[in-house]
Amino acid sequence: MGTKTRTFIFALFMLVGMQVMRGQDPHFSQFYANPLYLNPAFAGSNVCPRLVMNYRNQWPSIPGSYVTYNASFDMHFEALNGGLGVILSSDRAGEGVLTTQQASLIYSVRIRVTQEFFIKAGLQAGYFQKHLDFNRLTFSDQIDSRWGFSKPTKEKAPPGGVYSTNDLDFAAGILGFSKKFFVGFAAHHLIPVNEAFIDGNTSYLPMKLTGHLGFKIPLTEAGRRRLRPTDPVIAPNLLYMQQGKFSQMNYGLYFERQPMIFGVWYRQFFQGSDALILLVGFEYDKFKFGYSYDITVSELSTASGGAHEISMGLKFNCPQKKVRLHEISCPSF
């Protein structure tokens, strides 16, 4: 299949989608290696400044795969009794035919409920832009029976040759946590976001709802009495996500023994299975690195190439004396 044919198929899919489809957000498999993307309440959860970068290449064996980049920075401010964060993301589909960029600011507040249990609530406000490159599309009237895609199209190009749309976007989240347990809920796209490229049309991005919980089980007697960062643990996790008519359940289990973390997740739609996710992470001092691979078990099978994901994180020293606050005891990846 030639490049022109692949682009035509993708373009046909996208143009039909402008009229009848509801979009979906990009998703990551290393959920907790991208905490602000998962739930805005995570802003400042590390207390000291934190920089996180993520890369995902989904279905690389299929022409026009989905490539997503993400970067975030956050820290806790004692004067605000909460955290501030910024998150930047970029998504590219169809070899760059369709691109999306978004920038968001986050504020979260921390509330002490008991000596060992805390609540964090976060609000997120962002701005997104989506572009469809008309000059890279191909149409059926360009096909010559002998020479293939060789004719000029009669379709009218938009000004500048690019369809564009932009809008404001809002999200909110809440977390409850202790030293060994956490539970959270997040809602993205609280106000309807219109992604339609053509004036007068509407194509609203559905609200995304996410629920997640997990806990740590120490594997040593000393860890059961008092859990320390160096104690080996296993950490069962659940994560549920719904966006429009699409929903998925993720079942995860981590084994942590510093500096290594190993994890396995199983993702299923309610219509069937999707992927088995294997991951390995390394965390030492203020640096961490993670790699995961999605093994497709749906009807796409191995022809999709699965998905590769890489994460990197860097923690910085606090600019002032670190206050005695509990960090959220969630997985690193």
- Report pLDDT for 263: 96
328 is a domain residue: no
Taking only the tens place, the pLDDT of each residue in 234-248 is: 999 999 999 988 899
Taking only the tens place, the pLDDT of each residue in 57-96 is: 988 877 777 899 999 999 999 888 889 999 999 999 877 7
327 is a domain residue: no
94 is a domain residue: yes
Three-state DSSP at 310 gives strand
Task: Give the domain extent around 37.
Answer: 3-315
Q: Give the DSSP H/E element, type plus range, for residue 164.
A: strand 162-177
Taking only the tens place, the pLDDT of each residue in 148-194 is: 676 777 777 777 778 888 899 999 999 999 888 999 999 999 998 88
Residue 3, sorted as left (phi over 0), alpha (psi -120 to 50) or beta, turns out to be alpha
20 is a domain residue: yes
321 is a domain residue: no
| Over residues 249-272, mean pLDDT | 92
Q: Which two tokens stand for residue 241?
A: 């996500």
Quickly tell me which residue has 């740590």 as its tokens.
216
324 is a domain residue: no
**What whole-number distance in Å separates Cα of residue 118 and Cα of residue 108?**
13
14 is a domain residue: yes
- Report pLDDT for 23: 62
* Rounded CA Rg of the chain: 22
Beta bridge partners of 125: 105, 170
Taking only the tens place, the pLDDT of each residue in 36-62 is: 999 999 999 988 899 999 999 988 877
Closest listed residue to residue 170, CA positions, set 242, 241, 107, 120 = 107
Largest CA distance in the chain: 77
End-to-end C-alpha distance for the chain, whole angstroms: 37
**What whole-number distance in Å separates Cα of residue 11 and Cα of residue 29?**
27
**What whole-number distance in Å separates Cα of residue 292 and Cα of residue 27?**
13
- For 177-227, the three-class secondary structure string (H helix, E strand, C coil) is ECCCEEEEEEEECCCCEECCCCCCCCCEECCEEEEEEEECEECCHHHHHCC
Tell me the DSSP string of 94-137.
TTTTEEEEEEEEEEEEEEE-SSS-EEEEEEEEEEEEEEEEGGG-
Q: What is the CATH number of the domain that holds 72?
A: 2.40.160.40
- Report the C-alpha dihedral over residues 231, 265, 214, 238, rounded to 10 degrees: -170
123 is a domain residue: yes
- Report pLDDT for 301: 65
- Report the C-alpha dihedral over residues 76, 77, 80, 82, rounded to 10 degrees: 10
In percent, how much of the chain has pLDDT > 90? 47
**What whole-number distance in Å separates Cα of residue 302 and Cα of residue 112?**
47
316, 50 contact by CB (below 8 A): yes
Count of structural domains within the chain: 1
- Hey, how many other C-beta atoms are within 10 angstroms of the C-beta on 56? 23
243-280 per-residue burial string, b: 16 or more CB within 10 A, e: under 16: beeeebbbebebebeeeebebebebbeeeeebbbbbbe
**What whole-number distance in Å separates Cα of residue 153 and Cα of residue 138?**
8
**What whole-number distance in Å separates Cα of residue 178 and Cα of residue 74?**
21
